[in-house]
Amino acid sequence: MANRQLTFNIFRYNPTNPKDKPHMQTYQLQETEGMTIFVALNMIREEQDPSLMFDFVCRAAICGSCGMLINGKPRLACRTLTKDLPPEITLLPLPVFKLIGDLSVDTGTWFRHISLKTEAWIHTDKEFDPRAQEERMDNKTAYDIYEAERCIECGCCIAGCLTANLRPEFLGAAGLNRVARFMVDPRDKRSAKDYFEVIGSDEGTFGCYGLMACEDNCPMELPLQQQLAFVRRKMAWAGLKR
Amino acid sequence: MSLVRTLGKNPRCDLYLDLAQMISGILLVGFLWTHMLFVAVILLGPATYDSFARFLDDYYLSYIGIPFIGLVALVHVITVCRRIPSRYQELWEHAKLVRHTDTWTWLFQLVTALGIVILVMIHVWSVLTGWPIEAVKSTERMTSFWWFYIALLLLGEYHAGFGLYRIFVKWGWIKRKTIGWVTKTITIIIVGLGLAALWAFLQLGGAV
Ligand code: SF4
Ligand code: SF4
Ligand code: FES
């Protein structure tokens, strides 16, 4: 399939330039062996248009900065091979997040806000003793925490989520997954009631419509349906008990 | 959230609304399926159908059942309305921009909901004005308005099937694949039953 002539329709807009208007720009590129969208974008920038804006750091699905809409689906550019796509490829920035320019969006501010809102750190009153041996944790718990921690904050689950698009305050799958991570952690002393105050509403767990765009789009294949359902059950129980 | 909204709101309000939507939804699905089973009694012959309808009537089951289901339906409509975004323009834009199957099934569920509300009102009105239920009257209705009932059957089953699927997905009691498969199978059976009943009515219509 290599050696195809690829056509890229790329969203162009620089919000800092008052004269600029959002538009689509077309580029032609010869496909090469093992080409990813990351490689293609770099070639376009180097050979055709140095003004093209997009984000990358790791190019190995670790940093989560290269999320974009690839033919309408939220994907990591560094992980998407052109050979899996038709010869005409449309690239748009991820919705929901603040647009920096062209394909580049600011996911950092959004995720920082979520971390602060859900207080995504261990809440404990135990004094830390650096010389004491670390407390043990059973394997299953450790695994569950690790599973949730695999999130790379790429924002694909947020961009594909209808609720997150319509409701700016919605925590989204990544946010609720974060909460689930602390719920299973025995070191965190927060009660279900404490969590309910933060996420027991339509801005949190009950705002989810259950469309599973999050799970279908997560490049790390996190078990988001299970995480969302776990949080929902726990919060429903906490809300009903009192 | 603003101060006024925070003060004026019961903190468990969203939970209660969500539960009310789910419970009313499950009750309605249950009703829909029993309803289809009841209608399918026609397959056993018009005499059985009539005596079954009379049985429900004699023991006041119809008089308890119909208002109760009406109430449940009202609760469902009210609690579901909050899910409909006021800016439906954005809804449409999102669905077009981000390609995702479940999002489209959900959008179509909104559309079917509207259709169901209208068709059900007509259906209930026509049944109640022709009370009691008898095979002869049902046959008449079915033969003249078979397209109406096919539409109602398909819309209702689509909405119920995917609604139930979504409830299970949201609460995570069963695996997503399994529940999708189960709801689809049941839906096909019920639609088949409905069509068979319709066919029986049409047959009767020709015979009468
Ligand atoms: S399942 Fe919930 S969180 Fe996931 S995409 Fe749908 S509405 Fe958003
Ligand atoms: S949950 Fe998945 S899709 Fe969402 S931010 Fe994390 S890695 Fe990305
Ligand atoms: S560049 Fe880091 S995830 Fe794609």
More confident residue, B5 or B174: B174
Which ligand lies nearest the alpha carbon of A202? 1
CB pairs under 8 A between A and B: 95
Among B91, B1, B77, B72, residue whose Cα is nearest residue A201: B1
Answer whether B167 touches A (CB < 8 Å).
yes
Answer whether A99 touches B (CB < 8 Å).
no
Nearest to A208 among B97, B98, B170 (CB): B170
**Which residues of chain B have a CB within 8 Å of the CB of A197?**
11
From ligand 3's centre to the CA of A61, what distance in Å? 4
Confidence label for B208 from pLDDT (cuts 50, 70 and 90): very low
Asked if the Cβ–Cβ distance from B98 to A160 is below 8 Å, we say yes
Q: Looking at the domain A119-241, which fold is it?
A: Fumarate Reductase Iron-sulfur Protein; Chain B, domain 2 (1.10.1060)
Q: Which CATH architecture has domain B2-204?
A: Up-down Bundle (1.20)
Nearest to A225 among B13, B97, B176 (CB): B176
From ligand 3's centre to the CA of B173, what distance in Å? 34
Position B8 scores a pLDDT of 60
Position B88 scores a pLDDT of 74
Mean pLDDT of chain B: 87
Position A241 scores a pLDDT of 86
> Is residue A29 within a helix (H) or strand (E), and if so which, with residue range?
strand A23-30
Which residue among A156, A157, A163, A166 has the greatest number of ligand 1 atoms within 8 angstroms of its CB, and so is best to mutate?
A: A163
- Describe the strand order of the beta sheet including A73-76 as a list of residue ranges: A23-30, A5-12, A88-92, A67-70, A73-76
Among A26-40, B2-16, B119-133, the range scoring the smallest mean pLDDT is B2-16
**Which residues of chain B have a CB within 8 Å of the CB of A209?**
83, 106, 166
Mean pLDDT of chain A: 94
**CA B186 to each of CA B40, B142, B162, B189: distance values in angstroms, whole numbers, following the listed order:** 15, 24, 11, 5
Please compute the mean of the pLDDT values over residues B179-189 and round it to a whole number: 92
Give the domain ranges of chain B: 2-204
Confidence label for A96 from pLDDT (cuts 50, 70 and 90): very high
Which ligand lies nearest the alpha carbon of A77? 3
**Which residues of chain B have a CB within 8 Å of the CB of A160?**
98, 100
Position B58 scores a pLDDT of 81
Q: List, for residues A141-199, the tens digit of each pLDDT value.
A: 999 999 999 999 999 999 999 999 888 899 999 999 999 999 999 999 999 999 999 99
Q: List, for residues A41-75, the tens digit of each pLDDT value.
A: 999 999 999 999 999 999 999 999 999 999 999 99
Nearest CA to ligand 2 atom 2: A218
Max mean pLDDT range (B22-36, B50-64, B191-205)? B22-36
Position A69 scores a pLDDT of 96
Instruction: Give CA–CA dist B3/B8, Å, rounded.
Output: 8
Answer whether A27 touches B (CB < 8 Å).
no
Instruction: Give CA–CA dist A183/A186, Å, rounded.
Output: 8
From ligand 2's centre to the CA of A171, what distance in Å? 12
ipTM (interface predicted TM): 0.83
Confidence label for B5 from pLDDT (cuts 50, 70 and 90): low
CA distance, residue B165 to nearest chain A CA (Å): 9
Region A5-104: CATH code? 3.10.20.30
Please compute the mean of the pLDDT values over residues B71-89 and round it to a whole number: 85
Q: Are A22 and A95 in contact (CB under 8 A)?
A: no
**% residues pLDDT > 70 (chain B):** 94
Position B106 scores a pLDDT of 87
